[in-house]
Amino acid sequence: MKPLRIITLLMLSLAVIMGVQCLTAEPAAAHNWLGDCVVDFDNTFALTYIYGQARGNFGYPTGIDNTGELQPCNATHQACWTYRHRCFGNYINVEDMTYGHIHLTFDSPSLLTPCFVDPGDGPGAGFGRTVGDNCVAADWIHEPRTLGTHGNDHWIKIWMEDRVTHQPRVFDMPIIRVTGTEPIQFWFKKSNGSWWYWSNLAPNPWLVGGWVQDVVEVRIRGAQAAKGPYFIGAFSILD
């Protein structure tokens, strides 16, 4: 079945109801790019420049004041971001569209039942491990993580930002790894303004690069069959 081509936001909403899939469509021809950038959710740069290093599993929109201090995003900031992964000198942004935050969940089993420790640096307490009678802070910017969501209705936006102009850049996405137990909807906007999508991608690595080419934006939410939050382990980008 050919993928459904979406022209307007109204039609995009109707397409969700129709639930057409496009996995059997003929892929487009490949491009020549600088290279492959793997975006995971324990990137040191991205976690260093998100407020509080997402130490409590929550990733909030972040800005920077005129002294260089990271703060929760507010109207005084010239720019804000959430999870910002540096890629070929530009930025891949992963942003919430629904709940005001994303979840950057710790993967370590030793952090499933954490204690909490506040180092006194301003953003408050974060996940730690009990060692004897003490709570020892996790290494928040180096712990393995997964992108999690608040619920199956949580929309996540992915786009590439030019480091100089701060405008969207065109990119390809060769692969996305859906983890956890719940399926996702996967939407992508081509550089010509048209929207395309898959209605149900189950937990698996998906080789979507034959279709997700020359795009300016990807949006993800839980599939209609999803019963709870969905999770993304990683994806790759060609810039």
Per-residue confidence (pLDDT) for residue 8, from 0 to 100: 31
Spell out the domain ranges in the chain. 39-182+215-238
* Structure tokens given for 72: 């929760």
Q: Is 195 helix (H, G, I), strand (E, B) or coil?
A: strand
d(Cα 166, Cα 168) in Å, to the nearest integer?
A: 7
Residue 111: count of CB within 10 angstroms of its CB:
18
Per-residue confidence (pLDDT) for residue 35, from 0 to 100: 65
C-alpha angle 98/93/122, rounded to 5°?
A: 80
Per-residue confidence (pLDDT) for residue 143, from 0 to 100: 96
Per-residue confidence (pLDDT) for residue 153, from 0 to 100: 97
Q: Over 60: is that where the pLDDT of 29 sits?
A: no
Q: Is 70 helix (H, G, I), strand (E, B) or coil?
A: strand
* Structure tokens given for 146: 């997964």
Pairing of strands 156-161, 115-117: unpaired
pLDDT above 90 covers a percentage of the chain that reads: 77
Residue range 193-221: mean pLDDT, rounded:
97
Q: What share of the chain is helix, strand, coil (3-state, %, to 5)?
A: 10, 40, 50
The pTM (predicted TM-score) of the whole model is 0.86
- Tens digits of residue pLDDT in 145-187: 999 999 999 999 999 999 889 999 999 999 999 999 999 999 9
- Tens digits of residue pLDDT in 99-151: 999 999 999 999 988 999 999 999 999 999 999 999 999 999 999 999 999 99
Contact (Cβ atoms closer than 8 angstroms) between residue 205 and residue 177: yes
Does residue 35 or residue 133 have the better pLDDT? 133
Per-residue confidence (pLDDT) for residue 36, from 0 to 100: 79
